[in-house]
Amino acid sequence: MAIVKMKHIEVIALQSDAKAIIEFLQRSGVVEINQHPETDRTKDAGSDDSLIHLHTHTSISYFDKVLLLVNTSLAVLHEYAPLKKNLLSGFAGRRELSLSEFSERSHKVEETLRKAREISALSQKITTAQGVISHTRSQLAAMLPWENLDIPMQFAGTAHSAAIIGSLPALYTKDTLLAALQSCLPETPASEIPASETPSPETPAFADGQSEFPPVFIEIVSFSREITCVAVICHKSDESVVRSSLRRIGLSIPSDPTYHAPAVRITRFRQKIDDSYKEIADAVKQLAGYAHDCDSLEFISDYFLMRKDKYEALGMLLFSRRTFILEGYIPERDTASLEKVLITNFDVSVHFEDTKEDDDVPVLLQNNPLVSPVEDIVKSYSLPSRSDLDPNPAMAFFYYLFFGMMLSDAGYGVLMVIGTAAILYFLKPEGSMKVNMQKFFLCGLSTVFWGALFGSWFGNVVYVVSTTFFGMNISLAPLWFDPVTNPLKLLILSLILGFIHIMTGLALRFYNMWRHGEKIDAVLDIGLWWVVFAGLGLVIGSMVITATIPLQSIGLYIAAAGGIGLVLTQGRSSKSIPGKILGGVASLYSITGYFSDILSYSRLMALGLVTGIIATVVNTIGSIAGGGVVGALGFIVVFLFGHTINIGINVLGAYVHVNRLQYVEFFSKFYEGGGKAFKPFGINTKSYKFKEDK
């Protein structure tokens, strides 16, 4: 089986060896450590044989703070002082570091932390300056409308005059403002003010009579459609009337605490903004000097991440006064080698035992190089439970088969094979990147296979180039058939492959039930459906095959026998006879689900046709300019652009739809999932990986 058998491990060793043993387990990366449950002895901390958990929270909190500082510093350097990287650097794996190099560099941790603090301080300086700029700009924007005011905004007047400075929520001229103020007097409504008595806007307004507005001098400082900034001067004795009237039409007094003219404050604001920009430029210049410290910062990020993981592991153990207990899970294949090293180097007791039926055992998959690249597809769906089969071996064959059929252009397949092989060989990616490159390498091989069968090499590029530029009629004939001219044949092939795919899923379900002792259920629930499908297959076969025996009649009898068997057995879980009959009859409705699932495989035809047709259209467009140098240049541009878009879209489409066929049509026939991934305690660094010294 592809699911690795797990063993439960218990290690009892001296407390003095705890650190060394944990560090060894971290390097080996084969044990998943479990949090030891609380026991009666853990609660009785005062007795000699009490078992306690170490309080590692303080240390872990410290490591989290350091990691936050270091990672923030790295982010700052990547923003303000980025080092130039190769476009393909994202595919590369971690850098190698020997244990002796690790030990040597770990002595410089404090020096690197000091640089991280300096980088953080410069970042804070930039952030503060940016905040000052933002705040000062808002102050400047509020002050700019008052730039033409040549007296302080807090100017209250002289011994005999009063000055009122503020803004009004509307557009006013001197005339309209005076009219609005006049209308505020209750004795004289604005509609009754004679036009001949309206004061001139250039001179103070003096009016005769008690019902007229007091004489004022109005200066419009600035205006817009929404607001008018004004300065109003009146006699000291009239201040209350004027101020009250201004308030009635919405006067707002600006909150300027200074006694300088607005132009002075505006100049200071602008200078403050300029000074802040200079501070930012100076800080960025200093940050550039730390650009080459990224490597050291990445190292100590990994260093403290490892220490954090180690202390989290220590917190899962139980300690007595002299010993500690470690429990977890380990693959059976690693038990002998781990036990040998532990017993050789430490005073330790190591015990392995089979897992129990009710244990929540983690799942680890192990497959050959052709199957393992698609394990991430199953992991994205759900890992197999203890009662499941590993679906990867069966799924891998169909995955590559369907992907290549959907993309179905040999030229695109060659590019995928070359590109992924180069990345794997030269950049040596790790983790999910490595798995994806391996997967698309194999998908590329399948694409070359199907493309050759269908005769598609970058569409019909050989034919277009030969006829357009060389006056010759050369083409690469399909090894099987051309789906563009014979789409019905491709549709039939797609449905046949879909039927085989679904039947494989049912076969896996049959096998899984059989190995768990559910043999009768396997025969009745799966075997009878095979009888139905066998009969229907003979009926369909009689339509295209000429035979001396009545295949159609035989097929109908076989299908009917299978259907009767389903009616008689599928309601067997019901206690009542009517329930058994109704349950059996209702089970026949599942035939529509099977046909619907099989029709879903028509997407194999659809995507296969789309790739070839678009590729052919791109070649045709590229050849419109005809032969010659100009035509050749135009063809190259169109070819590169068009086929790049086509391969990008159709690789994505093939990936999405082939996953859907596995998740919806295939897994639903036999797979339950629900397993928990095996997560061994190990070195989970981001930038460096470690190798043992020779």
Tell me the pLDDT tens digit for each residue of 106-129.
899 999 999 999 999 999 999 999
Name the band, by pLDDT with cuts 50, 70 and 90, for residue 537: confident
Name the band, by pLDDT with cuts 50, 70 and 90, for residue 311: very high
Q: Is the pLDDT reported for residue 198 higher than 50?
A: no
pLDDT recorded at residue 193:
43
Instruction: Determine the Cα–Cα distance for residues 243 and 246; give it in Å rounded to an integer.
Output: 5
Question: Hey, where are the domains in the chain?
Answer: 6-99+295-363, 155-255, 389-471+488-669
Q: Is the pLDDT reported for residue 463 higher than 70?
A: yes
Lowest-confidence region among 159-163, 261-265, 374-378, 690-694: 690-694
Instruction: Determine the Cα–Cα distance for residues 395 and 398; give it in Å rounded to an integer.
Output: 5
Percent of the chain at pLDDT exceeding 70: 93
Which residues, listed in sequence order, are joined to residue 328 by a DSSP beta bridge? 9, 33
| Summary mean pLDDT of the chain | 89
Name the band, by pLDDT with cuts 50, 70 and 90, for residue 196: very low
Residue range 21-49: average pLDDT?
74
Q: Beta 688-691 vs 95-98: how paired, if at all?
A: parallel
Give Cβ neighbours of residue 668 (< 8 Å, ≥ 6 apart). Answer: 505
Residue range 603-626: average pLDDT?
94
Instruction: Determine the Cα–Cα distance for residues 215 and 665; give it in Å rounded to an integer.
Output: 90
Nearest Cα residue to 248 out of 198, 174, 181, 188: 181
Q: Is the pLDDT reported for residue 457 higher than 60?
A: yes
Sign of torsion over alpha carbons 154, 158, 159, 160: negative
Q: What is the CATH number of domain 155-255?
A: 3.30.70.2750
Q: Is the pLDDT reported for residue 204 higher than 70?
A: no
pLDDT recorded at residue 210:
42
Q: Which two tokens stand for residue 533?
A: 């499908």
pLDDT recorded at residue 183:
87
Residue range 300-319: average pLDDT?
94
CB-CB neighbours of 679 under 10 Å: 12
Up-side HSE of residue 551: CA atoms within 13 Å toward CB?
14
Q: Is the pLDDT reported for residue 582 higher than 80?
A: yes
- 205, 216 Cβ separation under 8 angstroms: yes
pLDDT recorded at residue 585:
86
Q: Is the pLDDT reported for residue 209 higher than 50?
A: no
Instruction: Determine the Cα–Cα distance for residues 673 and 675; give it in Å rounded to an integer.
Output: 6
Name the band, by pLDDT with cuts 50, 70 and 90, for residue 211: low
SS3 content of the chain, % helix, strand, coil (to 5): 60, 10, 30
Lowest-confidence region among 237-251, 388-402, 545-559: 545-559
| pTM score of the predicted model | 0.82
Most confident range (mean pLDDT) of 153-162, 170-179, 396-405, 684-693 is: 396-405
Lowest-confidence region among 300-309, 572-581, 596-605: 572-581
- Per the model's pLDDT, the better-predicted residue between 83 and 620 turns out to be 620
Q: Is the pLDDT reported for residue 38 higher than 70?
A: no
pLDDT recorded at residue 192:
45
Residue range 244-249: average pLDDT?
93
Name the band, by pLDDT with cuts 50, 70 and 90, for residue 187: low
pLDDT recorded at residue 255:
78
Give Cβ neighbours of residue 629 (< 8 Å, ≥ 6 apart). Answer: none
Residue range 12-39: average pLDDT?
89
Name the band, by pLDDT with cuts 50, 70 and 90, for residue 42: low
- 616, 459 Cβ separation under 8 angstroms: yes
Instruction: Using CA atoms of 93, 99, 104, 105 in order, give the dihedral in degrees to the nearest 10.
Output: 30
Name the band, by pLDDT with cuts 50, 70 and 90, for residue 270: very high
Q: Is the pLDDT reported for residue 243 higher than 50?
A: yes
Name the band, by pLDDT with cuts 50, 70 and 90, for residue 602: very high
Q: Is the pLDDT reported for residue 628 higher than 90?
A: no
- 661, 402 Cβ separation under 8 angstroms: yes
Percent of the chain at pLDDT exceeding 90: 71
CB-CB neighbours of 108 under 10 Å: 12
Instruction: Determine the Cα–Cα distance for residues 513 and 519; give it in Å rounded to an integer.
Output: 6
pLDDT recorded at residue 221:
94
Our measurement of the distance from residue 614's CA atom to the centroid of its chain's CA atoms, rounded to an integer in Å, reads 30
Q: Which two tokens stand for residue 346?
A: 């430490």
Name the band, by pLDDT with cuts 50, 70 and 90, for residue 37: low
